[in-house]
């Protein structure tokens, strides 16, 4: 099977720049598609090249505006299916609704599962995603799911800048300890844990710090930064416990509500994020926010899926 002629990569509105980087890495042109809006706001989409019998990859984060980007992804899948694509893989760098993954209150939906059902019904044969809020979401799909971790990208960057000495990885809550331990193991450094309680949604109160950060450079690791409240309070607590400096590392820069104001006035020295979600102008201009691209990681996963090679071996890179 010819690599360049049998695979097509398309981008939705939310992942244009990332898709460009992926196509550069793979050395293939980006697929042509027209995406627009009718006068009433409905999405209009047309794939503008032949894809019959092709291995099609559709890349689009379901980031804010979540509903628009999700609907666009579903429409793209339907268009590819009706154009007789051989296989459709949806690449979702950021999986919106991922935090609604369980029924934790009476009469609430499990929206992460609903989204999985919609993607499958739209015609997707396979899903490739990055750092789901909860790994068990993979089980919501009745199709194949490849779940990548951006930790490889972040660890490689940290090694390059030589920050490993006196570094300590900090988990912002008990639920993130597994990832923090794995991340710290890659770098050969210890971990600490912030114990907090959350009195209401999007609010958190730091209660205690498990582990000594005194005399160390702290790196708070999380899957996303939403309003920023949890991160900023954790950073303050870490500095109060004697850390030399504190950085943050999060795959998905959601940055909703007061996030940028909070980060700007925080004790954080640097905030490392990926390009799973494109930054707005203000966030992109903030000197303490540094974006690392997922293009090579996702591009390599796409190549391996297309060639029926191992994707799991990427996790040990």
Asked if residues 276 and 263 have their Cβ atoms less than 8 Å apart, the reply is no
Q: Look up the CATH architecture of domain 3-149+295-316.
A: 3-Layer(aba) Sandwich (3.40)
Max intra-chain CA distance, the chain:
61
Strand (E) or helix (H) holding 122: helix 111-122
Residues 6+ apart with CB under 8 A from 314: 148, 152, 297, 300, 301, 304
In the chain, domain spans: 3-149+295-316, 151-292
> Domain 151-292, what fold?
Rossmann fold (3.40.50)
Identify the pLDDT of residue 161. 84
Q: What's the whole-model pTM score?
A: 0.93
Asked if residues 209 and 193 have their Cβ atoms less than 8 Å apart, the reply is yes
- Structure tokens, 246: 């504190």
pLDDT in tens for each of the 317 residues of the chain? Answer: 445 569 999 999 999 999 999 999 999 999 999 999 999 999 999 999 999 999 999 999 999 999 999 999 999 999 999 999 999 999 999 999 999 999 989 999 999 999 999 999 999 999 999 999 998 999 999 999 999 999 999 999 999 888 777 899 999 888 889 999 999 999 999 999 998 766 666 655 656 889 999 999 999 999 999 999 989 999 999 999 999 999 999 999 999 999 999 999 999 999 999 999 999 999 999 999 999 999 999 999 999 999 999 998 887 65
- Mean pLDDT estimate for the chain: 93
Asked if residues 158 and 164 have their Cβ atoms less than 8 Å apart, the reply is yes
266 SS3 class: coil
Asked if residues 276 and 293 have their Cβ atoms less than 8 Å apart, the reply is no
Asked if residues 126 and 146 have their Cβ atoms less than 8 Å apart, the reply is yes
Q: Is 307 marked active-site?
A: no
pLDDT tens digits, 247-302:
999 999 999 999 999 999 999 999 999 999 999 999 999 999 999 999 999 999 99
Identify the pLDDT of residue 244. 94
Q: How far apart are CA 312 and CA 317, in angstroms?
A: 10
Q: How far apart are CA 74 and CA 43, in angstroms?
A: 11
pLDDT tens digits, 170-194:
998 888 899 999 999 999 999 999 9
Identify the pLDDT of residue 164. 72
Of residues 166, 196, 200, 233, which has the active-site annotation? 196
Asked if residues 263 and 235 have their Cβ atoms less than 8 Å apart, the reply is no
- CA-to-CA dists, residue 175 to 133, 146, 168, 195, angstroms: 10, 22, 18, 10
- CA-to-CA dists, residue 74 to 144, 257, 278, 315, angstroms: 17, 27, 20, 29
Residues 6+ apart with CB under 8 A from 70: 62, 96, 97, 115, 118
Identify the pLDDT of residue 202. 61
Identify the pLDDT of residue 1. 40
Radius of gyration of the chain (CA): 20
Q: How many residues does the chain have?
A: 317
Q: 151-292: same fold as 3-149+295-316?
A: yes
């Amino acid at each position: 099977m010819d690599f360049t002629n049998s695979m097509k990569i398309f981008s939705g509105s939310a992942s244009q720049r990332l898709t460009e980087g992926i196509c550069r890495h793979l050395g293939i042109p980006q697929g042509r598609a027209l995406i627009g809006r009718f006068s009433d706001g409905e999405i209009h989409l047309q794939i503008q090249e032949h894809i019959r019998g092709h291995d099609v990859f559709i890349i689009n984060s379901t980031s804010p505006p979540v509903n628009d980007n999700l609907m666009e992804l579903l429409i793209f899948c339907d268009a590819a299916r009706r154009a007789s694509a051989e296989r459709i893989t949806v690449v979702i760098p950021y999986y919106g609704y991922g935090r609604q993954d369980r029924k934790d209150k009476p009469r609430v939906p499990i929206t992460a599962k609903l989204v999985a059902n919609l993607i499958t019904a739209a015609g997707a044969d396979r899903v490739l995603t990055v750092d789901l809020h909860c790994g068990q979401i993979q089980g919501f799909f009745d199709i194949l799911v490849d779940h990548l971790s951006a930790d490889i990208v972040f660890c490689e960057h940290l090694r390059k800048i030589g920050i490993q000495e006196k570094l300590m990885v900090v988990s912002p809550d008990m639920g993130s300890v597994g990832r923090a331990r794995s991340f710290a193991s890659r770098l050969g450094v210890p971990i600490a844990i912030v114990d907090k309680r959350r009195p209401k949604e999007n609010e958190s109160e730091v209660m205690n710090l498990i582990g000594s950060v005194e005399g160390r450079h702290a790196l708070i690791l999380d899957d996303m930064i939403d309003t920023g409240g949890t991160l900023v309070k954790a950073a303050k607590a870490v500095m109060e416990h004697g850390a030399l400096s504190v950085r943050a590392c999060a795959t998905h820069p959601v940055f909703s509500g007061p996030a940028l104001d909070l980060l700007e006035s925080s004790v954080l020295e640097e905030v490392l994020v990926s390009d799973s979600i494109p930054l707005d102008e203000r966030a992109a201009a903030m000197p303490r926010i540094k974006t690392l691209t997922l293009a090579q990681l996702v591009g390599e996963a796409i190549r391996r899926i297309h060639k029926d090679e191992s994707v799991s071996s990427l996790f040990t890179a």
